[in-house]
Amino acid sequence: MDVLKKVPVREQDAKERATNFKEVCLGYNMEEAMEEASRCINCKNAQCIKGCPVAIDIPGFIEKVKSGDMEEAYQVISRSSALPAVCGRVCPQESQCEGKCIRGIKGEPVSIGKLERFTADWARENGISPKGAEEKLGKKVAVIGSGPAGLTCAGDLARMGYDVTIFEALHEAGGVLVYGIPEFRLPKEAVVQKEIENVKALGVKIETDVVIGKAVTIDELMKEEGFDAVFIGSGAGLPKFMGIPGENANGVFSANEYLTRSNLMKAFQEDSATPIMKGKKVAVVGGGNVAMDAARTALRLGSEVYIVYRRSEEELPARVEEVHHAKEEGIIFHLLTNPVEILTDDNGWVNGIRCVRMELGEPDESGRRRPVVIPDSEYVIDVDTVIMALGTSPNPLISSTTERLDTNRWKCIVADENNGATSKEGVYAGGDAVTGAATVILAMGAGKNAARGIHEYLSKK
């Protein structure tokens, strides 16, 4: 064994997986996990913990994996994280825990994500659940949204002894874990639903089909339904479009719509009641994780798929692993390319996308080099479907129906970074509703901070 390298993780073959929706990464087995765990040198001043938004005791759980004490390894993780099987799969470890790992200086860092995943999967397969509160505090907290921020906040509060109810607008709990991230990256039944069961096992109640701001407002929850505090984790739901001609044509979808049809409504299955467009040639506009998810979904539905992104490969905001997987599966990248018009036939259906080529100029305010149009570089890509994956902005449903809840100019709810407190007493917020579109783990970190903030607030009351 080369101690400088990670124990490789088994994956489904690229050609085979391009035609199915089964999970790409197969994960470690016990033997591989113990071998990988032995690479951890158990630093006294563990940098990896500082890199983790929910501060899991990483060397602590890896130490347990090393000795094969999986149940205890799971309890160590679950003290800090409500969703380890999810995080082990979708966290950008390379820029967080693994990015700080001392092993990474000379060789490859410890494969913390894969070990976390193995630990959580082992616990699930062996029927181990996290431990709930022994004493109830007799106070009620409402959590709005059952995505990563809401589940984490609810789980933490329930563990402290609060009576927590999550309100979810859709018919299924999980938020972006259910409607956004595809099955082949994050299995719904086997992983997401089981993690949600674990949160419920802590005593959290989940009421689906409730749109806060419509069916009931936050003020009503507090005044009429007896909630002592509220956490808003409603996510960033509204899809952005480019505002170019042809965008309202038939065959143009937001990534949100395309992924929701496939993931939440199971449209990828033949017998699903909800339809999805199976284009012959699909352009996905954007370069983030959502763009990769949409592209790889379209590929699996039988389409030839192009990613159209205006900067170069280096600036792709998607995780390196996702880009790598997409390429392996046969996604074609049109980089330094920007759409200017969507072309349609007489019946209003997409039949092409007109693009210009770009080059990188001076860095802009984000520090990335600004893409500039190359004159006379227009060309048409022949496609029948266009998926816009340009990011999302927060849904104003809650901020517009809650009195004295401040938002910033992007309509994001203003909340204290350390404890989630908003401008309204007793109301806390975190996740994409506050930051705009970000990652699962950052939302979880915000949910965790808010749980602590709510606890402090209710302890004084």
Partner 1 sequence: MFEILEKKQLNDTIFQMVVRAERVAKNCLPGQFVIVRMDDDGERIPLTICDYDREAGTITIVFQVVGAETKRMTALNKGDYFRDFVGPLGRPSELCEEEIASLKQKRILFVAGGVGTAPVYPQVKWLKEQGVAADVIVGAKTKDILIMEEEMKAVAGNLYITTDDGSYGRSGMVTKVIQDLVDEGKQYDVCIAIGPMIMMKFVCRLTKELNLPTVVSLNPIMVDGTGMCGACRVLVGGEVKFACVDGPEFDGHLVDFDNAMKRQQQYKTEEGRAMLRLQEGDTHHGGCGNCG
Q: Indicate whether 251 belongs to the interface with partner 1 (CB under 8 A).
A: yes
Binding test (CB under 8 A) with partner 1, winner from 210, 332, 343, 373: 210
Q: Indicate whether 237 belongs to the interface with partner 1 (CB under 8 A).
A: yes
Size of the site for partner 1 (CB under 8 A): 38
Binding test (CB under 8 A) with partner 1, winner from 50, 131, 136, 214: 214
Which residues 261-280 are close enough to bind partner 1 by CB under 8 A? 261, 265, 270-275, 277
Secondary structure (3-state) at 9: coil
Min dist. Cβ of residue 242 to partner 1 (A): 11
Q: Mapped to the 3 state alphabet, what secondary structure does 381-443 carry? A: ECCCEEEECCCEECCCCCHHHCCCCCECCCCCECCCCCCCECCCCCEEECCHHHHCCCCHHHH
CA 264, CA 182: separation in Å to the nearest integer?
9
Q: Indicate whether 247 belongs to the interface with partner 1 (CB under 8 A).
A: yes
**Do residues 316 and 324 make contact, with C-beta atoms less than 8 angstroms apart?**
no
Q: Indicate whether 1 belongs to the interface with partner 1 (CB under 8 A).
A: no
Q: CA quadruple 202, 192, 448, 236: dihedral positive or negative?
A: negative
Listed ranges 148-156, 236-244, 329-337, 369-377: which one lies at the site for partner 1 (CB under 8 A)? 236-244
For 4, phi then psi, to 5°, come to: -80, -15
Listed ranges 86-94, 112-120, 214-222, 429-437: which one lies at the site for partner 1 (CB under 8 A)? 214-222
Which C-beta is closer to partner 1: that of 137 or that of 238?
A: 238
Q: Indicate whether 254 belongs to the interface with partner 1 (CB under 8 A).
A: yes
Which C-beta is closer to partner 1: that of 241 or that of 410?
A: 241
Q: Determine how many CB atoms are found less than 10 A away from the CB of residue 10.
A: 10
Residues 311-350 as x/- pattern, contact with partner 1 by CB under 8 A:
------------------------------------xx--
| Half-sphere exposure at residue 372, Cβ-oriented, CA atoms within 13 angstroms | 9
Binding test (CB under 8 A) with partner 1, winner from 56, 76, 164, 169: 169
Which C-beta is closer to partner 1: that of 337 or that of 395?
A: 395
Residues 128-167 as x/- pattern, contact with partner 1 by CB under 8 A:
----------------------------------------
Q: Indicate whether 102 belongs to the interface with partner 1 (CB under 8 A).
A: no
Q: Indicate whether 216 belongs to the interface with partner 1 (CB under 8 A).
A: yes
Q: Is 8 exposed, middle or buried (0-12, 13-18, 19+ CB in 10 A)?
A: exposed
Q: Indicate whether 230 belongs to the interface with partner 1 (CB under 8 A).
A: no
| Residue showing tokens 């170069």 | 312
What six digits make up the tokens of 143? 């959590």
Binding test (CB under 8 A) with partner 1, winner from 12, 75, 129, 250: 250
Question: Which of 30, 8, 9, 83 shows the shortest CA–CA distance to 52?
Answer: 83
Min dist. Cβ of residue 272 to partner 1 (A): 8
Residues 357-396 as x/- pattern, contact with partner 1 by CB under 8 A:
--------------------------------------x-
Binding test (CB under 8 A) with partner 1, winner from 29, 126, 248, 408: 248
Min dist. Cβ of residue 182 to partner 1 (A): 16
Question: Which of 445, 379, 434 shows the shortest CA–CA distance to 412?
Answer: 434
Which C-beta is closer to partner 1: that of 136 or that of 214?
A: 214
| Half-sphere exposure at residue 420, Cβ-oriented, CA atoms within 13 angstroms | 33
Question: Percent helix, strand, coil in the chain (nearest 5)?
Answer: 35, 20, 45
Distance of CA 194 to the CA centre of its chain: 17
CA 304, CA 296: separation in Å to the nearest integer?
10
Min dist. Cβ of residue 234 to partner 1 (A): 10
Binding test (CB under 8 A) with partner 1, winner from 4, 14, 215, 374: 215
Between the two ends of the chain, the Cα-to-Cα distance in Å is 57
**Which region, left, alpha or beta, applies to residue 129 given φ > 0 means left and ψ of -120 to 50 means alpha?**
beta
Binding site for partner 1 (CB under 8 A): 169-171, 179, 208-211, 214-216, 237-239, 241, 243, 247-248, 250-251, 253-254, 256-257, 260-261, 265, 270-275, 277, 347-348, 395, 397
